[in-house]
Amino acid sequence: MANNKGTTCSKVQSHEMLPVQILEKGVFRFDCSVHDRNNASPSISFKNSKHRDTPITNCHVNPTYTPTFECDMGEQRVNIKLPSGTSFYGTGEVSGQLERTGKRIFTWNTDAFNYDVETTSLYQSHPWILAVLPDGKAFGVLADTTRRCEIDLTKESNIKIIAPSSYPLITFGPFSSPADVLMSFSRAVGNYGSLHLSFPVDLNIFYVST
C-alpha cells in the first residue's frame, strides 16, 4: 500500500485510500491520509458519530475492495472497481428506473417541479450506492460528506465519487445479500423512520431485498 501519511489532498495524487475497520466485521472507513482522518469533520450520517471515528480491534480482516483516489483543485475523486457485471442502486431521490447503472447523479437538492426521467437531482440527496455483484453478493458505499457530490456510474462496474475534499468513504461488505448490506448500514445510520435527520438512504434501495 502506498504511504499516504503526508497526503492532504492539496495537489494531484493517485494512491490507495487508507482503511480502518469500524463498527463491525466487514465495515471499513477509508481516508486519503492519516492527516485527513484525524481532521475530518464529525459525521452527521452515523447515528453515533463516534462509531465512525473509533477503530475496532477485535476483528482482523482486510477489505475486499480498496478505493483509489486522486485530488486536484480541491476535489477528492474516488474510484472503486468492482467485478464485471455489477449493477448499482441507491443514490438518493433520482427520477427514472430503480437501477442506477450507467447514470451520473448529483447530490444537490432542488425544487424539481415538473421533473422528468432525465432529472438527476430531486428533493433529497444521499451519497450512498448499493452495488449488487454478479455472484449475488452485495456491497455498500457511503461518501460521508454534506458537500455536493457527483456519483458517476457510467463506467462499467466502477463507482466514481467526486466532491470537495476531503471526506471519509465508508464501505459495507461485500456481504451475502443486499439485505445483509442494508442491515449493516442501518446499524450505522439508524433505522428508517427514526428522527435522525441526516439518515442517508433512500427508500428505493429497500425494494432490492424484497
Asked whether residue 201 is assigned to any structural domain, the reply reads yes
Higher pLDDT, residue 143 or 13: 143
User: For residue 128, what pLDDT band results from cuts at 50, 70 and 90?
Assistant: very high
DSSP code, position 192? T
For the segment 90-105, the average pLDDT, to the nearest whole number, is 84
For residue 153, the enclosing domain spans: 15-209
Alpha-carbon torsion, ordered 71, 66, 32, 182, to 10 deg: 100
Residue 5 lies inside a defined structural domain of this protein: no
Q: How confident is the model at residue 42 (pLDDT cuts 50, 70, 90)?
A: very high
Mean pLDDT of 124-150: 93
* Strand partners for 107: 149
- The rounded mean pLDDT for the chain is 83
Considering just the CA atoms, what is the radius of gyration of the chain in Å? 16
| Residues in Cβ contact with 48 at an 8 Å cutoff, skipping those fewer than 6 apart | none
* Residue position matching grid coordinates 432542488: 110
Task: With respect to residue 4, please indicate whether it lies within any of the assigned structural domains.
Answer: no
Does the predicted TM-score (pTM) go above 0.75?
A: yes
| pLDDT (0 to 100) of residue 105 | 87
pLDDT at 92 over 90: no
In a domain, 7, yes or no: no
| 171 lies in some domain | yes
- Determine the Cα–Cα distance for residues 147 and 150; give it in Å rounded to an integer: 10
Strand partners, 131: 88, 139
Q: Which range scores top for mean pLDDT: 61-70, 121-130, 188-197?
A: 61-70
Q: What is the mean pLDDT of residues 24-31?
A: 96
CATH of the domain at 98: 2.60.40.1760
In 3D space, the residue among 18, 15, 29 whose CA is nearest the CA of residue 142 turns out to be 29
d(CA 85, CA 166): 30
Give which of 167, 160, 182 is closest to 82, Cα–Cα: 160
User: Structural domain tally of the chain?
Assistant: 1
Quick check: helix, strand or coil at residue 34? Answer: helix
In a domain, 34, yes or no: yes
> Where residue 8 falls among pLDDT bands split at 50, 70, 90?
very low
Residue 169: predicted pLDDT: 97
Note the pLDDT of residue 82: 98
Q: What is the pLDDT of residue 74?
A: 85
14 has pLDDT over 70: yes
In angstroms, rounded to a whole number, what is the distance separating the alpha carbons of residues 168 and 144? 6
Q: In what order do the strands lie in the sheet with 169-175?
A: 18-21, 27-31, 169-175, 138-143, 128-132, 87-90
pLDDT of residue 208: 35
121 occurs within a structural domain: yes
Looking at residue 13, its pLDDT comes to 57
Residue 124: inside a domain: yes
